[in-house]
Structure 1
Amino acid sequence: MDVSVIFATCNRDDILKNTLDSFTHLATRNFAWEVIVVDNAVRQQTKTLVNSYKDMLPITYLTEATPGKNNALIKALPSAQGDLLVFTDDDIIAHPDWLEELWSGAERYPAYDMFGGTIKPHYPDHPIDPRINLNHHFINDAYVVTDTKLKEGEIRAGKIWGPNMAIRRKIIDSGINFNPNIGPNGQDYVMGSETEFLLRAAKAGHSSVFLPKAVVKHQIRQNQLSLEWLAGRAFRHGKGNAAVTNTDQAKQKILFGAPRFLYKKLLAHKLLMISSRLKTQHTQYFSHFVRYHFIRGQIHQSRIIAQQS
């Protein structure tokens, strides 16, 4: 087997159907492939949906009852037969040449073991809250959209994102695996599951390449175009930042389990949020809004780390 496409799903059949529909149009003449879907909600409806594609796709349905995207991915790995393991999400729309570009790219760069591709946004046809600045750099992080300036060639592992990443099987065979304590789990989770995995692989000597012609679109849902959702996203990004960097707190002044300077930044951005909102300065408001909730996440996770140490 050449390519295994692996992803988790959790009670999002309407979105999942769009993803699977896009897979039926993939160009796969030059390699043998399979799709493994791991149902993290263990729903009969999802099983029925996935199995309805058996005549169109080389697809396998698995279940993992323990909540957590990484638990689901770990469940799939023993069943995966491909030399190239392609990881994605249940809310993407794949370009027809997506897998072909990943496969041919892996052949062009035999000295590299990790590959990332382009992720574009697919917005719904609804008005967007004017306070949300779609040109802010956080939007790419929030909606998992890659930088349009990225060119083909070597990149840092952290530039590869979950909806469009591939690794050679030998990374898993070497003992490097996903961390079940990081990533979506249906709760107030720590973000950065793929980043944490890829950074460990990079530290072990595995290099990364970006393949811009390997394209997927990320389905942005209407509920994600709200300040409430973006606040949660920024908060989880902050948690992920604190969890991955895990700065030595012994070198810093600590207040209530977190670096003291973070509280100063939190208060400053809160005051600037209030000021810019009163002046209806939407661009400035959104910038301070993002930083405020990001720092909240950093403080929250820092306190958890302090309690565990």
Structure 2
Amino acid sequence: MDISVVLATYDRDDILAKTLSSFSKLDVAECEWQLFVVDNACRRETEALVSGYCESLPVKYLQQKSPGKNNALLTAMPLVEGELVVFTDDDVVADSQWLLELWQASQRLMDYDLFGGRILPLFPEGMGPEPGVDLSQGFTRAAYVIADWDLPEGEIRPGRIWGPNMAVRKRVFESGITFDPKIGPSQSQAYTMGSETDFLLRAAGAGFKSAYVPKALVHHQIRPNQLSIDWLKGRALRQGKGKAALFREFDHYKHLFGVPRFLYRKLITLKLRSLYYRLTGDKSRYYHNAVELGMYQGIHEFYRGLSTTKSSPKAS
């Protein structure tokens, strides 16, 4: 088996249908491959949708009741047979050459074990982000999962490989490195981001190298609710929480009630600026401030959670 493709899904069959439809048009004549769709909502409707593609795709439907994307991905891992394990999301539209480009790159770049392809946004027809949203900003590009690096095929840092278009040689998992179920998207809106980053950093730390494959292209479906500044701010909060958990860069600061002391002044300042920019109608500055505010709220939320855990009495 050459390639195993793994994706998790949760109760969004209309989006998943577009993804599976694009997979049915893949040019994979020279590859033997398999596809695992892991349903984290365990819905009969999703099972029926996936089963409808059994004649056009080498797909197997799996279920995982434990919430969380990483729990779902881990469900498929004992079943994968491919030399190259490709991870994607249930909201992509794949270019017809996507898998073939990843496979051929893995055969050219034999010294590399981690591969990331190109990701472009697919906005709803006739719609765009709320006024003020800056598509050139690094955070916004990350929120919409725009991985379009101005680089040729070849070595990149692992942080530039993103979840909807990520391939990993099976030997990385055979070395004992895998996904952490405590990190990553889940049904809770307060989940800690960074599942792929955590995995890739540990793999890089073990000596596995990363490569960019710009010809391997998928489009990321942007939903109408994701066009608002409020949604992007929520994304910033989760990102701030995830970075705090991954890097623990504020642990050495002086703390007050379990939270780095500087955060209190920072949050008050950002909230006052937010009010000012809203009142003056400065949409661009309001957006940039909202993102920064969300980030620091996420950091605050992480440390408050740590403090609560430490102060909770142990069961006798």
TM-score bracket for this pair, using the shorter chain length: over 0.9
Residue type at the aligned position of 1:32: E
- In the TM superposition, 1:1-309 aligns within 5 A as 1-125=1-125, 126=127, 128-187=129-188, 188-247=190-249, 249=251, 251-308=252-309
**Residue type at the aligned position of 1:144:** V
State how far apart, in whole Å, the 2-side matches of 1:154 and 1:303 are: 38
Is there any run of 5+ residues in structure 2 with no aligned partner, and where?
311-316
The one-letter code matched in structure 2 to 1:299 is H
Does structure 2 conserve the Cα–Cα contact (< 8 Å) formed by 1:37 and 1:59? yes
CA deviation digits over 1:9-36, x for unaligned, max 9? 0001000000000001111112110100
TM-score by structure 1 length? 0.96
The more displaced of 253-262 and 87-96 is 253-262
> What's the offset of the Cα at 1:247?
2.6
SS of residue in 2 equivalent to 1:61 = strand
Partners of 1:7 and 1:102 in 2: CA distance:
16
Of 263-272 and 89-98, more deviation after overlay is shown by: 263-272
Contact (CA 8 Å) 1:93, 1:217: kept in 2 or not? yes
Give the Å deviation of 1:127: 5.2
The alignment's C-alpha RMSD in Å is 1.4
Q: Secondary structure at the match of 1:38?
A: strand
The amino acid across from 1:27 in the alignment is D
Post-superposition offset of 1:141: 1.3
Q: Is the 8 A contact 2:8 2:40 kept in 1?
A: yes
Aligned positions, number: 308
Letter in 1 for 2:35: V
Displacement of 1:305 after TM fit? 3.2
Letter in 1 for 2:293: Y
Deviation at 1:158, TM superposition (A): 1.1
- Match of 1:166, SS? strand
1:111-132 alpha-carbon deviations (Å, 9 max, x no partner): 1110001110000122542133
The answer (yes or no) to whether the contact 1:140–1:147 under 8 Å persists in 2 is no
**Structure 1 unaligned blocks of 5 or more:** none
Pick which of 160-169 and 299-308 moved more.
299-308
Structure 1, residues 135-176: CA drift from partner, whole Å, max 9, x if none?
332211111111442432211111110000000001111111
Amino acid at match of 1:109: L
State percent identity of aligned pairs.
Answer: 49
Is the CA contact (8 Å cut-off) linking 2:92 and 2:221 kept in structure 1?
yes
Matched position secondary structure for 1:213 = strand
